[in-house]
Amino acid sequence: MPTHGTGRRAQGTVVALGWLGVVLGLAGLLLPRRTARMAGVPAGRPALTALRLVGLRELACGLGILARPRAAGWLWARVAGALVDLGLLGTALTSRGARPGRIAAAAAGVAGVAALDARAARALARAGDGTANGHAVTARKTITIGRPADELYRFCRDVGNLPRFMVRLQSVEALGDRRTRWRARGPGGAIVQWEAEIVEDRPGRLIAWRALPGSRLDHAGAVHFERAPGGRGTEIAVELAYTPPAGTLGAVIARGLGRAPEQELQEDLRRLKQLVETGDIAVAGSLRGETPPAEPRRPPPRAVATGGRR
């Protein structure tokens, strides 16, 4: 396990990178001509427009990093933006009036900052505590269910019940000693499998888990059970965090091909509510896009003979 000092150092680097993004963003927005000259790019209208857009992106990423210094998502977003910037600089080399030496120096600077961003993001992930802090994709949703907390805890503690209402899960198998094996559908129908362990288990109050080291999917989650006010049952809060197998690029693809994780989690919780409040097991059968089986047709009732008449 990383030490707390390692985590503090990683976050200190992240804050510095955040302020760097703010400075670069303001330079691109407010001083595009000077920035273009320093980068060796001809200061034509297309270049100035591109620099303002890059500055806006850098400013947004820098503020995002400062707002969430324990999350790696904004850092990885800036790494992706750096790839775009390197492509723009490469295109600028063919422009009339370009200064190749300065463009090469600018490209080296962009690549260097991207390397620092990637290194800091990985350090955050290593220093994470199994919660949503160091992961590329996070979601948190809450719902009130009209059942006692102990009953809902027992239902969720039986991990085999999770695929009945969580749309992406195919199976969760208990391996003993708090260890479980998960199978889930990713973008494009790809199947991802990993093993996890329950790290905190407070009956009727909390279940928390995280993927075992070396798992293909870096995944963590927690379910909190609290008595709802006014005797309305139980308030369940679910937190999920994961890094897709393809890293941040996989997260971007997942968001592009499917719905946002928060939306999927909210719908999962609605299915859980319907399942435990109504006992409608048929709903669970259609979670993975399957067509529920049609109800068998019943034969018409036979006429009952009375008084000797047919």
Q: How far is CA 22 from CA 39, 41, 73, 196, 242, in A?
A: 18, 21, 16, 38, 28
Mark whether 157 and 210 lie in a shared domain. Answer: yes
271 pLDDT tier (thresholds 50, 70, 90): very high
Task: Tell which of 70, 104, 127 closes a domain.
Answer: 127
At position 138, the amino acid (one-letter code) is T
1 pLDDT tier (thresholds 50, 70, 90): very low
Domain count, the chain: 2
296 pLDDT tier (thresholds 50, 70, 90): very low
Q: Is the pLDDT of residue 203 over 90?
A: yes
Q: For residue 132, what pLDDT is reported?
A: 41
Mark whether 89 and 224 lie in a shared domain. Answer: no
Phi-psi region of 239 (alpha: psi -120 to 50; beta: other; left: phi over 0): beta
pLDDT in tens, 25-72: 899 899 989 998 898 888 888 888 988 999 999 999 889 888 877 777
Q: How far is CA 109 from CA 47, 117, 171, in A?
A: 18, 12, 46
Q: For residue 290, what pLDDT is reported?
A: 40
The predicted model gives 92-109 an average pLDDT of 88
Q: Which domain holds residue 269?
A: 132-284
Q: Which residues, other chains included, contact 17 with Cβ-Cβ below 8 Å and sequence gap of 6+?
A: 62, 65, 75, 113, 116, 117, 120
